[in-house]
Structures are given as C-alpha cells and as structure tokens.
Copies of this chain bind each other. A is one copy, B any other.
C-alpha cells in the first residue's frame, strides 16, 4: 500500500495533498512525493525580488520541501526538470515510468488536467497519466514489473471552478490536520497561504459534514480536502 504524489513544483503537494499523505503515513504506509521541478522560476517571486540566484532558489525550495515531506513522514524526490514552463518530453515521461515501476503505487495523486492560470500543472498531470499507462505495458522497456491499475485522484487547484474541478471525493483529514499545518509552516516564503489553506480545509470540512449527514456525528471542527477521481471506483459495496 503506497501513495505516489506527482507535483509540478516543490510546494504543491503540501497545500493540496498534505492531509492525504499524513493519513497514509499515520497508518504505516509508504508515501512518496515526486516533484518535477522546484518551482524556481514561477513560484518563488519573493526570492527573486531579494536577488537570489537560480541555484540558490532551487536549494531553498528543495530544503523547504524536504522539511515538509519530513513532517508528513513521506519520501521526496526531485527530477529538476525546470518550470515556467515545465516541458512535456519523452525523456521526462520515461523517468517517471521508472519511478512508477519502482514505487508500485496503490494510489496516485496529481494535479487536474486544466488550469488556465498555470500551464505547468496540467503538464505535470498529463505526464503523470501517460507514464502510469506506459508503466502498465509489459513491453515497455524499463526495469521492474508492469504496474497494476492504481486509482488516480486530482487534488484541488487554486481556483477550482476555473479548472473544471468538480470534487467527487471529500477526504476527512481532521485527525491529521495539525500535521498538515506543521508541514505548511515549513514553507515560510508563502506565509499568507498557511491561513488560506487552513480556511479551505475548514470549508471542505463543512462539506464533509454536509455530505456525510448529521447522523454520523462528525465534530464541529471537521477538516477536509477535496479530490476528483479520474477512473471509476471499483467496489464490492455501494456506500
């Protein structure tokens, strides 16, 4: 039981999926974050204004992301493929196939396929999906066994309605929210996001309660994360 999170930039997995990651690791599962870039050009405005160099910025972001992953109990790997733009190339997809084969995830998280504000996010998602399908083929020339069919969940973008993000899964992250908050606090350059994503977790928590109904007795401070399942859910029970 392993969770694989494919993230375009170094911080994405924290804001959008730290709850799911912490839930997995708190249950003793392996979680691995694959950062395709550091977000060095497009998501580090403060450091650029301070006159940092490209390499310095990459190191800062790497360190922050490693700290956050550490708080969440997750492994993290950086492919350093560049951002703004993150380019879709066969070579990068091939490297991702190899990660899939090595990690053999039971669940995959990534960005949604549309984002008119940020082209790197859909690029990361396209490659994550393409690599997943390639990793399934016995004839694809990469080490390891062919992948199964792990479900894919898109995590929430910054402006969900503009990205055709209609959540069909609401994850209750109440029990690990403190850990998510600590992970967010590992990213000091975006301090205004700490409260922003705490508020979002509250808002999604209200929806968790609303969709679960009053009879389940969820607490007042239920916290949530929203996801969108790409493939149909396979189940032995409707619930």
Contact = CB atoms under 8 A, between A and B. Distances in A.
Interface of A: 3, 20, 23-24, 40-42, 44-45, 48-49, 54, 57, 84-85, 87, 90, 93, 106-107, 109, 116-119, 129-130, 133-134, 137-141, 146-151, 153, 158-162, 165-172, 196, 199-200, 202-203, 206-208, 210-216, 226-227, 229-239
A211 B199 contact: no
Instruction: Give the most central of A57, A166, A232, A235: most B CB within 10 Å.
Output: A232
A238 B48 contact: no
B139 A84 contact: yes
Main secondary structure of the interface of A (DSSP, over half): mixed
A232 B139 contact: no
Nearest to A213: B149
A139 B44 contact: yes
Contacts of A211: 149, 231-232, 234
A119 to B, nearest CB: 5
B213 A148 contact: yes
Nearest to A1: B239
A184 to B, nearest CB: 16
Contacts of A49: 138
Given A41-B139, A139-B44, A238-B153, A203 B206 contact: no
A233 B232 contact: no
A149 to B, nearest CB: 3
16 contacts: A20-B238, A23-B237, A45-B139, A117-B133, A119-B130, A119-B133, A148-B215, A149-B210, A150-B213, A160-B161, A162-B167, A169-B232, A170-B233, A172-B236, A211-B234, A233-B233
Contacts of A137: 41-42, 45, 84
Contact of A208 (B106, B134, B214, B234): B234
Contacts of A140: 41-42, 84
B117 A210 contact: yes
